[in-house]
Amino acid sequence: MSVPDEAPARPVPGPVIAPTWVRSPALVAGLAAGVLLAGLGLLTGRPELAVVALPVLVTAGLGFRRSPGADRVHVATTLAPADSGRGVGYRTEVTVPPSAEAVAVEFRVAGDRRHVVVVDRRRAERLAGTVPVTHSGPQEVLRTHVSLLGRGGTAVTVPEPGPIAAAVVPPPHLRMQHLPMPHRVTGITGAHDSARPGDGGAFRDVALFAPGDRLRRIDWRRTARRAERPGDLYVRRSFATADALVVLVIDGRDDLGTDVTGWGGTRHGASGATSLDLAREAAVSLATAYVGAGDRVGLRDLGGSARSVEPGGGTRHLERLRSTIASVTPAGDAESSARMPLVPAASLVVVVSTFLDDRAASMAMTWAATGHRVVAVDVLPMPDVSTADKYERTAFRLLTLERDDRLTDMTATGVELIHWQTGEGDSPAVQLRLLSRPRRAG
């Protein structure tokens, strides 16, 4: 189940607009029609045409005499999570001067879609709606243009740009219960059994009482059966509990959609979820699940657009991880060299990437060779080659062959691979559940 995260409301005050008034095209057309009718009446000697033209000329003359004031227009937009949980809600307040009778507000949203509403002065102070968003991360949500209509419709203003409302849209997250663990847990306390003796874990063995053992651990039945000398006491010993250490590594150097013709950067405007959208969703889902289980989670970004977050736990640390993951943006140059991040010892490393080059794959294999358990999350969307020409299809085949060989080399070196596709095939939760099963020795 995908659960969207909420973002706080953000008021975006716009610039103070000084409207530029012009005569209404309807007024100009009415004046021209009145003059034409009066001229025809004089030329043809038909006074009824002049009688018809008289009220039109009077109305147009009165309209030209009215001069709208030089009042200012204030526009402010506030963004907030939508009540339905889908998209971003907005509230726009337009302060209309007394010289205007109505206002036309044009809303421009993603994809250059335009919606125009014409309302009166009172209604203009509480315009609200929802903007559907397809992608997560930093983006422009809403752009407004304002035009005023004078009293009687005799004058209008030139459309003026209002505020541009931008926001960091948080990615949704999937709820998961079964998660893979590192090869060993090293924390002081937590929800997982460790290999060292202590309190809180599963049963380990029964041994003679030693200094430091607690009296409540004495097994009186075992003592009665096995005691050989007076004073011998046997205690039940258990394993200590510990938390897991997880490091999320996001490869945010590129952002690819399903259309392969846009992978070269010449075409834009992906309609579906892109690779970076899936990467943000995967990172937020894993961070939420691990922190909820009491583990410590850190973050590294190969693209360098987001700051690194050291491993930690708790609600405040989870909010810090979510905001940092949501702010990951494409680095701009996917071929740029990325320095290999440092990860703590005995940690589970989760590499989230499209693996279209050797950078992330070589890092994953290096971490696996040094003893870390590494899980590679493939976030490349399902490619669509329906609009590609023969040259683009050939390039795509070559790129796919290289990528398949790269993924095969990773799995051969011990890197565990899952595909993060929320639409078809096995869900990520099912794949992670398979990885969470204990592996047999040998």
Instruction: Concatenate the DSSP letters of all residues of 119-140 into one string.
Output: EETTGGG-EEEEE-----EEEE
pLDDT band at 63 (very low <50, low <70, confident <90, very high): low
Q: Is 137 left (phi over 0), alpha (psi -120 to 50) or beta?
A: left
Compute the average pLDDT of residues 340-351: 90
Give the relative orientation of helices 47-65 and 25-44 as an angle to the nearest 10 degrees. 150
pLDDT at residue 6 tops 80: no
Q: How high is the pLDDT of residue 441?
A: 41
Mean pLDDT score of the chain: 79
Q: How high is the pLDDT of residue 290?
A: 93
* Domain 245-436 classification at class level: alpha beta
pLDDT at residue 438 tops 80: no
Between the CA of residue 169 and those of 9, 132, 322, what are the distances in Å? 12, 11, 11
Q: How high is the pLDDT of residue 1?
A: 43
- The pair of structure tokens assigned to 54 is 């008289």
Q: How high is the pLDDT of residue 60?
A: 57
- Measure the CA–CA gap between 290 and 175, rounded to whole angstroms: 11
Residue 53 near residue 41 (C-beta atoms within 8 A): yes
Compute the average pLDDT of residues 416-423: 85
Side-chain-side CA neighbours of 62 within 13 Å: the count stands at 8
How does pLDDT run across 368-385, given as a tens digit for each residue? Answer: 999 999 999 999 998 888
How does pLDDT run across 125-157, given as a tens digit for each residue? Answer: 888 888 888 888 888 888 888 888 877 666 778
pLDDT band at 442 (very low <50, low <70, confident <90, very high): very low
Helix (H, G, I), strand (E, B) or coil at 328: coil
Range with lowest mean pLDDT among 144-158, 248-262, 393-407: 144-158
- Measure the CA–CA gap between 110 and 112, rounded to whole angstroms: 5
Least Cα distance to 281 among 370, 377, 214 occurs for: 377
Segment (H or E) for 166: strand 160-169
Q: How high is the pLDDT of residue 247?
A: 95
| E strands present in 170-224 | 173-174, 192-208
Task: Tell me which range, 18-27, 205-214, 234-243, 303-312, is most confidently predicted by mean pLDDT.
Answer: 303-312
Q: How high is the pLDDT of residue 364?
A: 95
Segment (H or E) for 168: strand 160-169
pLDDT at residue 66 tops 90: no
pLDDT at residue 221 tops 60: yes
Least Cα distance to 291 among 246, 251, 346 occurs for: 246
How does pLDDT run across 167-182, given as a tens digit for each residue? Answer: 888 888 888 888 998 8
Domain boundaries, the chain: 16-22+68-168, 23-65, 197-242, 245-436
Residue owning tokens 């009778």: 101
pLDDT at residue 356 tops 60: yes
pLDDT band at 414 (very low <50, low <70, confident <90, very high): very high
- Measure the CA–CA gap between 391 and 411, rounded to whole angstroms: 31
Compute the average pLDDT of residues 245-257: 90
Compute the average pLDDT of residues 307-334: 87
- % of the chain residues with pLDDT over 90: 23
- % of the chain residues with pLDDT over 70: 73
pLDDT at residue 112 tops 50: yes
How does pLDDT run across 421-432, given as a tens digit for each residue? Answer: 866 557 888 888
Exposure string over 343-374, b if 16+ CB within 10 A, otherwise e? beebbbbbbbbbbbbebbbebbbebbeeebbb
pLDDT at residue 62 tops 70: no
Compute the average pLDDT of residues 4-27: 62
Q: How high is the pLDDT of residue 413?
A: 94
User: Residue 311 phi/psi, 5° resolution?
Assistant: -60, 140
- Measure the CA–CA gap between 340 and 166, rounded to whole angstroms: 32
Q: How high is the pLDDT of residue 398?
A: 94
pLDDT band at 288 (very low <50, low <70, confident <90, very high): very high
Full-model pTM: 0.76
Q: How high is the pLDDT of residue 335?
A: 54
Does 398 or 83 have the greater pLDDT score? 398
Range with lowest mean pLDDT among 44-53, 112-121, 255-264: 44-53
- Measure the CA–CA gap between 347 and 360, rounded to whole angstroms: 17
How does pLDDT run across 182-215, given as a tens digit for each residue? Answer: 888 776 665 665 555 656 556 666 777 778 777 7
- The pair of structure tokens assigned to 402 is 């290289």
Torsion sign (Cα): 295, 296, 302, 308:
positive
CATH 2.60.40 fits 16-22+68-168, yes or no: yes
